[in-house]
Amino acid sequence: MKTRTGVSRCLFIAVLIGLAMAFGTHAQDGAVDRARRMRMVADQIERRGVTDPAVLSALRSVPRHRFVPEPLRARAYEDGPLSIGDGQTISQPLMVAVMTAAIRPRPGMKVLEIGTGSGYQAAVLSACVREVYTVEVISTLGRRAEGLLRQLGHKNVHVKIGDGFDGWPEHAPFDAVVLTAAPRKIPAPLLEQLRVGGRLVAPVGGDLQELVLITKTQNGLVTEVLDAVQFVPMTGKAASGKPPGE
């Protein structure tokens, strides 16, 4: 004969089983995505030399698949860029890791990002620094990214729709600047808005591009070429070939 305690325990187990059956699919999907994310970081990022603990932690925690269009989510953790519409892409995970590590992110930093795109780079930065100010010229992408970032709890990311050439002077100076689209030449306003001691990382060029790291010192700018890359071109004033105002 079952005791009252035994009956209560059976009922409790039955409830747990019911909940598992009701939500099992979603839980399994979450577990699968987490496993894919861990594998992505181990195989694509750590093995290629990125060691910054904050960057690795951010890449493990930010759900990259949420920033990829639904039809492509099965490929979200592959080693390459993916289309997000409007002629734009979400960068290869390794590039996100390399660029984030290049600015040496720290919790107290204020960072400017040019090219919000899917919002993934901003989300990774958000997990590493104090404030992220990100500018997107394509309004549909910017608003979509802003909504998703809010939904995922990235309250320290601020999105502006506008031409990234101009940066975000109201919140300058920035400790770092990250460009996710390639200008032929770094826009002067972005260098002006970088504080002394700050670091700017960007793809630069046309058909042939280089990922460059610029450090602003008391004596001027120090430039280092990190790698050959291929990013979407920066649009707006950066693509016009004309000085602002012309």
Catalytic one of 91, 126, 139, 240: 91
8 noted as active-site residue: no
Q: Which of 80, 40, 76 is nearest to 56 (CA)?
A: 40
| Contact (Cβ atoms closer than 8 angstroms) between residue 92 and residue 117 | no
Largest CA distance in the chain: 90
Alpha-carbon distance 226 to 99, whole Å?
A: 10
Count the alpha carbons within 13 Å of 211 in the hemisphere toward its beta carbon: 20
Q: Please give the helix or strand (H or E) that residue 113 lies within, else none.
A: strand 110-114
Alpha-carbon distance 18 to 15, whole Å?
A: 5
Alpha-carbon distance 230 to 171, whole Å?
A: 30
Contacts of 162 (CB under 8 A, 6+ apart): 135, 136, 137
Q: Which residues are catalytic?
A: 91
